[in-house]
């Protein structure tokens, strides 16, 4: 699959944004590990909303006819893309009502605000889960057609949200720093293991072959000619395949930048006075996740490639 | 009613006349034009509803070239319709034809991702997804003589490799030919249940080849020596 920059920015930024907002709602509304101050909550909340918005706006850049983008909320009963849009649009008023209410009450947590926080968390999970399901529901791409995909999207979204919240707390030296950092380390470990399982799983030969595509299952089949003299939409959209050596090197880069380095830095951030490392943590994580998302597309092999020379997917 | 095509791989010669007729008819049809990019330049490209690939099946001398025309299969389980967020893609309940409402499409490519048969192509000029309409603007046109109320690709095929009809009706010509010739679907394992079917080439004895004399033991030894030395 062709890795489009707009979709990479969309999934990484909105995943991190919604992940951060879910954790902020959790830690601020229920005072876990000492809770978040009003300033911390609003800073992290605005950062999360900004990231989520950047992601969602970026997603519209890959539309060829954005005039009709408003129609994308029409098929919530069948389409995960539609569901993702509807959940994202519902998320904003609820989250803004929660953060606004908290600000209005001067940080006092009432039962109603806690209810809004729970709703914010649920909608945030729904958005990120839907993002994963957009890819996981496609039977045409076996590397995506697995429940590991939404699980990984959720884990990576929450882990990157955790890293961002740790960063904010490293600057403010808030009381919840230790608890948030520990949670983040757990989430990073879970996301790293999830991704490891995914990389093993997609290595297993399975799925459609040139034989099932052409119906000749009792003889060898190879493409003789594609019947076209130049590239067309299908080749551009689905034809890209990263060289295997590059894929293996980039997987190491993903592990280093998105999981190992952020985990080490988060552990260091738990010590007070290490806030110089905070920005480095965020950059490493976002760069690692961008590479991870690039690979997610570059490694996906659509079955249409069987009609353009691939023997199997 | 489940309208679709049955394509006879035994007689298709891969002349691309169906693709050209399709392009000609649909360029001025309901979802036209089928935009061409850089048509007279160095790297021409464009939108087609019908593409023909050629495959080599088996090993010589039991080998055969198979020309495989592919257009929209008008699947029973049309995932392209399921995933469409805008409702632009739809499957007509009355005849099973899958269409794209050009006024509603936002060009997100998601339906093309969901299609295993490469039937959908984005038109960069209009920014919308385009696909085979099964010539819905021909087959119901009462201004045409009844014999011509068929898709353009079917009418034009010089070897009559393409058949059009109702695959729900067990007495229709297409159903009968699928039954008799063992018609099959492409990638049935994905569960899309495509309406279009393909008829396999008839089983034939391989063409008579010139007899090769059996090599004597001495010749085999010589050949083995020659190979061993060149290594």
| Residue A168 falls inside a structural domain | yes
To the nearest whole Å, the CA of A8 is away from the closest chain B CA by 15
CA B203, distance to chain mean position in Å, is 21
Residue A183, domain CATH: 1.20.1630.10
CB pair distance less than 8 Å for B86 and A78: no
**Which stretches does DSSP call E strand in chain A?**
221-225
Tell me chain A's radius of gyration from C-alpha atoms. 21
| Residue A313 falls inside a structural domain | no
Q: How many of the other CB atoms lie within 10 Å of CB of B183?
A: 22
Q: In whole angstroms, what is the distance from residue A184 CA to residue A24 CA? A: 12
Residues 6+ apart with CB under 8 A from B163: B5, B6, B7, B8, B154, B173, B174, B177
Domain count, chain A: 1
| Contact in structure between B95 and B2 (CB atoms under 8 Å) | yes
DSSP codes joined into one string, A216-269: --SS-EEEEE-S-SS--HHHHHH-----HHHHHHHHHHHIIIIIIHHHHHHHHH
Residues from chain B that touch A208, judged by Cβ atoms under 8 A, are 116, 187, 189-190
CB pair distance less than 8 Å for B189 and A208: yes
Q: What are the tokens at A180?
A: 């948030």
Strand partners, A222: B56
The beta-carbon neighbor of A65 closest among B107, B118, B198 is B107
Residues from chain A that touch B58, judged by Cβ atoms under 8 A, are 219-220
Q: How many of the other CB atoms lie within 10 Å of CB of A245?
A: 8
Backbone angles phi, psi at B57, to 5 degrees: -110, 130
Q: In whole angstroms, what is the distance from residue A112 CA to residue A163 CA? A: 28
| Contact in structure between B175 and B8 (CB atoms under 8 Å) | no
CB pair distance less than 8 Å for B86 and A208: no
Backbone angles phi, psi at A186, to 5 degrees: -60, -45
Residues from chain B that touch A229, judged by Cβ atoms under 8 A, are 44
Q: Which residue shows structure tokens 């011509």?
A: B148
Q: Identify the structural domains of chain B with CATH numbers, from first to last.
A: 3-230 (3.30.70.20)
Sign of CA dihedral A195, A199, A200, A205: positive
Residues from chain B that touch A139, judged by Cβ atoms under 8 A, are 79, 114, 116, 190-192
Residues from chain A that touch B80, judged by Cβ atoms under 8 A, are none
> Chain A: residue nearest B19 by CA?
A227
pLDDT tens over chain A, length 313 residues: 999 999 999 999 999 999 999 999 999 999 888 888 999 999 999 999 999 999 999 999 989 999 999 999 999 999 999 999 999 999 999 999 999 999 998 878 888 999 999 999 999 999 999 999 999 999 999 999 999 999 999 999 999 999 999 999 988 888 888 999 999 999 999 999 999 999 999 998 888 999 999 999 999 999 999 999 888 999 999 999 899 999 999 999 999 999 999 999 999 888 766 677 888 999 999 999 999 999 999 999 999 999 999 999 8
CB pair distance less than 8 Å for B57 and A221: yes
Q: What is the ipTM of this complex?
A: 0.92
Which residue range is the domain that position A53 belongs to?
A: 5-308
């Amino acid at each position: 699959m062709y890795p489009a920059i707009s979709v990479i920015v969309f999934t990484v930024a909105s995943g991190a944004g919604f992940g951060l907002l879910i954790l902020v709602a959790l830690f601020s509304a229920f005072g876990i590990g000492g809770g978040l101050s009003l300033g911390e909550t609003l800073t992290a909340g605005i950062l999360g909303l900004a990231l989520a918005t950047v992601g969602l706006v970026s997603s519209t850049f890959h539309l060829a006819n954005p005039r009709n983008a408003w129609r994308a909320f029409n098929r919530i009963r069948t389409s995960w893309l539609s569901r993702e849009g509807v959940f994202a649009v519902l998320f904003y008023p609820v989250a803004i009502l929660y953060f606004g209410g908290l600000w209005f009450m001067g940080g006092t947590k009432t039962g109603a605000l806690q209810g809004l926080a729970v709703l914010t968390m649920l909608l945030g999970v729904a958005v990120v889960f839907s993002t994963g399901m957009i890819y996981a529901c496609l039977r045409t791409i076996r590397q995506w057609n697995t429940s590991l995909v939404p699980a990984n999207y959720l884990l990576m979204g929450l882990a990157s949200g955790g890293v961002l919240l740790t960063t904010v707390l490293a600057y403010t030296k808030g009381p919840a720093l230790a608890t948030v950092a520990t949670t983040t380390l757990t989430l990073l470990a879970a996301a790293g293991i999830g991704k490891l399982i995914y990389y093993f799983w997609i290595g297993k030969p399975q799925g459609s072959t040139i034989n099932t595509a052409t119906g000749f299952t009792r003889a060898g089949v190879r493409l003789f000619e594609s019947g076209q003299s130049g590239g067309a939409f299908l080749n551009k959209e689905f034809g890209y395949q990263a060289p295997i050596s590059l894929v293996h090197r980039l997987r190491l880069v993903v592990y280093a930048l998105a999981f190992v380095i952020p985990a080490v830095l988060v552990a260091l951030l738990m010590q007070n006075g290490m806030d110089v490392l905070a920005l480095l943590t965020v950059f490493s994580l976002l760069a690692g996740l961008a590479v991870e998302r690039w690979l997610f597309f570059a490694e996906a092999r659509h079955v249409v490639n069987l009609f353009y020379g691939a023997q199997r997917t | 009613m489940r309208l679709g095509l049955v394509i006879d791989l035994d007689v298709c010669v891969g002349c691309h006349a169906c693709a050209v007729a399709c392009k000609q008819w649909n360029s001025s049809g309901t979802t036209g034009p089928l935009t061409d990019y850089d048509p007279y330049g160095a790297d021409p490209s464009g939108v087609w509803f019908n593409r023909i690939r050629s495959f080599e099946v088996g090993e010589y001398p039991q080998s055969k070239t198979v020309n495989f025309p592919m257009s929209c299969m008008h699947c029973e389980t049309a995932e392209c319709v399921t995933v469409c967020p805008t409702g632009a893609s739809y499957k007509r309940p009355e005849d099973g034809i899958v269409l794209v409402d050009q006024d509603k499409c936002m060009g997100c490519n998601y339906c093309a991702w969901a299609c295993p048969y490469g039937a959908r192509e984005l038109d960069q000029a209009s920014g919308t997804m385009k696909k085979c309409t099964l010539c819905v603007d021909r087959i119901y046109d009462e201004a045409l003589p009844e014999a011509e109320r068929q898709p353009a690709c079917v009418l034009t095929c010089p070897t009559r490799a393409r058949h059009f009809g109702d695959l729900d009706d067990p007495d229709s010509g297409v159903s009968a030919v699928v039954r008799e010739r063992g018609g099959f679907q492409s990638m049935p394992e994905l569960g899309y249940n495509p309406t279009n079917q393909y008829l396999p080439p008839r089983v034939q004895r391989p063409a008579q080849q010139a007899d090769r004399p059996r090599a004597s033991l001495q010749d085999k030894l010589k050949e083995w020596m020659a190979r061993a030395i060149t290594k």
